[in-house]
Amino acid sequence: MKIILTGATGVLGSHIMYEILELFIKKPNVDNKLYLLVRKNKTTSANERINTLLSSDYTPNNINKIGLNRLNEFITIIDFDLKTAQESFLKELKGAYLIHSAGYVNLSTDIELKEKIFNENVQLTKSLFSILHTYLKKFIYIGTAFSSGARKGLIDNNFHNLDFTPEHRNEYEYAKFHSENFIATECKAIGLPFQILRPSVIGGKMLGNENNFFIPKYMVFYLLAKFFYFTAKRKGKQEYVRFIINYQSSLNIIPVDYVAKVVAQTFERNDIEQLNIVNFKSFNMKEGLELIMKEVEYPNFSFLESKLNFEYENSIEKIYYESIGKHLKPYFISDANEYDTTLLNSILEIPKLDNTSFTNMIRYAIANNFQDSKV
């Protein structure tokens, strides 16, 4: 089996890489090959980045014990700029599954970032399709459940035969939705099988007993916790903060290792074109904020229900609402929704995210001082 994976150094992509390698180890075949499209960074080569992920304290034990030499027999690392790839090499990819997990996760509503967010997500997807589509067995696109836009009620797996146009809260949601439409349209036009898999907000690991609650990078709700954790540590009086919120609003959170396992168990299935990889129950936003503020020891806050005219009362409110709060507010005031998880739960039982597990995610981040893994 040949699999091309983008985003292997990312939060979800690294865990998908682990799952694919475990699949190869369990079902050995001389033809098993994982092609990783990886960028080098300023100080580290692509090979070094991958080897770090395969030999760190957070690498799953069953992967770690195999050793780098054996693991690298399965892996070919490709420069991310496929435009320069030789035709002879591209032919080597014939019959491969492409799992496109790379993306630019940014919930910013800033106008100056709009073009960058769109291009990082959409143009890369279009380029991959343009270069690789004639060689692929299937195109698997990792989207986001939030490409549904601001919707209420029960959301099913089909986002592309709607009788309305979704209202997206930021450029990231729109870009991912646009990419999904592109893949679905282009693949159908040439008869190429495709699949769109959409995780919700990704949280720390919850399956098994290894490195529970670990996550390589802290995003979304973690960033709010990080902001108030370090604010609480500042000297001086703790300034009062008011959160503008719809008391019914909720946030769907799913563990990173669960998402990766579902991807690994689903990408070969031709009966699934769209699937939301989400929790069966979203987490109430107000309750989640209360738990976060308790853990970061910032008790000086209150809630305002969807107040439109809002003037800052102090410097912390101003800093918060002109930084991360500006980008999170659209989610805080959205109507409540849930997802139909009947199909998902039949693939792999969904882990329950309750107050205790959510609190443990925050405590893990605090214990690690909100430091992202560097690869």
Structure tokens at 243: 């959160």
pLDDT digits (tens, 9 = 90+) for 224-255: 999 999 999 988 889 999 999 999 999 999 99
Q: What value, to the nearest 5°, has the Cα angle with vertex 372 and ends 371 and 375? A: 135
Question: Is residue 336 domain-resident?
Answer: yes
Same domain as 229, residue 122: no
Question: Is residue 90 domain-resident?
Answer: yes
Question: Is residue 210 domain-resident?
Answer: no
| Percent of the chain topping pLDDT 90 | 75
Same domain as 313, residue 302: yes
Q: In the listed set 260, 277, 294, which residue is the last one of a domain according to the structure?
A: 277
Contacts of 238 (CB under 8 A, 6+ apart): 231, 232, 298, 300
φ and ψ at residue 242, rounded to 5 degrees: -110, 130
Same domain as 22, residue 118: yes
Same domain as 270, residue 143: yes
Same domain as 226, residue 115: no
Same domain as 226, residue 193: no
Question: Is residue 186 domain-resident?
Answer: yes
Give the CATH number, domain containing residue 26: 3.40.50.720
Cα distance between residue 345 and residue 279, in whole Å: 9
Q: Tell me: pLDDT of 29 over 80.
A: no
Which residue would you say has higher pLDDT here, 41 or 366?
Answer: 366
Which residue would you say has higher pLDDT here, 109 or 14?
Answer: 14
Same domain as 162, residue 141: yes
Count CB atoms within 10 A of the CB of residue 176.
28
CB 122 within 8 A of CB 181: no
Q: Using CA atoms in the order 172, 177, 180, 182, what is the torsion angle rounded to 10 degrees?
A: -100
pLDDT score for 291: 98
pLDDT score for 308: 67
Same domain as 23, residue 66: yes
CB 320 within 8 A of CB 255: no
Listed as own residue / partner, the contacts of 122-130 with beta carbons closer than 8 Å and 24 or more positions apart are 122/175, 122/178, 122/179, 122/182, 124/6, 125/100, 125/179, 125/182, 125/183, 126/182, 127/82, 127/83, 128/6, 128/82, 128/98, 128/100, 129/182, 129/183, 129/186
Pairing type for strands 283-284 and 250-251 reads: antiparallel
Q: Tell me: pLDDT of 135 over 80.
A: yes
Which residue would you say has higher pLDDT here, 224 or 309?
Answer: 224
Same domain as 241, residue 98: no
Same domain as 340, residue 196: no
Question: Is residue 215 domain-resident?
Answer: no
pLDDT score for 307: 66
The residue with tokens 């009788």 is 163
pLDDT score for 90: 86
Pairing type for strands 194-199 and 2-6 reads: unpaired
Cα distance between residue 200 and residue 206, in whole Å: 15
Question: Is residue 194 domain-resident?
Answer: yes
Structural domain count, the chain: 2
Running DSSP on this structure, what letter comes out for residue 31?
T
Cα distance between residue 365 and residue 358, in whole Å: 11
Question: Is residue 375 domain-resident?
Answer: no
Question: Is residue 213 domain-resident?
Answer: no
Cα distance between residue 107 and residue 171, in whole Å: 7
Same domain as 227, residue 149: no
Cα distance between residue 139 and residue 137, in whole Å: 7
Least confident of 61-75, 126-140, 357-371: 61-75
For residue 330, how far is the Cα from the chain centroid? 19
Q: How many residues does the chain have?
A: 375
Domain span at 21 = 2-203+252-277
